[in-house]
Chains A and B, each alone.
Chain A
Amino acid sequence: DIQMTQSPSSVSASVGDRVTITCRASQGISSWLAWYQQKPGKAPKLLIYAASSLQSGVPSRFSGSGSGTDFTLTISSLQPEDFATYYCQQANSFPQITFGQGTRLEIK
Chain B
Amino acid sequence: QVQLVQSGAEVKKPGASVKVSCKVSGYTLTELSMHWVRQAPGKGLEWMGGFDPEDGETIYAQKFQGRVTMTEDTSTDTAYMELSSLRSEDTAVYYCATTWGPVFPYGFDPWGQGTLVTVSS
Contact = CB atoms under 8 A, between A and B. Distances in A.
Partners in one complex: yes
B51 interface: yes
A96 interface: yes
Contacts of B97: 43-44
A55 B109 contact: yes
Interface string A93-104: 011111111100
A49 B97 CA distance: 15
A43 B108 CA distance: 11
B15 interface: no
A73 to B, nearest CB: 13
B111 to A, nearest CB: 4
Contacts of B108: 34, 44, 46, 89
A102 B44 contact: yes
Given A87-B45, A101-B44, A96 B59 contact: yes
A94 B105 contact: yes
Contacts of A71: none
B60 to A, nearest CB: 9
B73 interface: no
Interface string B32-50: 0101010000001111011
Interface string A64-108: 000000000000000000000001010100111111111000000
Interface in B66-111: 95, 97, 99, 103, 105-111
15 contacts: A1-B62, A33-B106, A34-B108, A36-B45, A43-B110, A43-B111, A50-B106, A53-B106, A55-B107, A89-B45, A91-B106, A95-B51, A97-B47, A98-B47, A99-B44
Interface of B: 33, 35, 37, 44-47, 49-52, 59, 61-62, 95, 97, 99, 103, 105-114
Closest 5 CB pairs of A and B: A34-B107, A43-B111, A49-B106, A46-B109, A97-B47
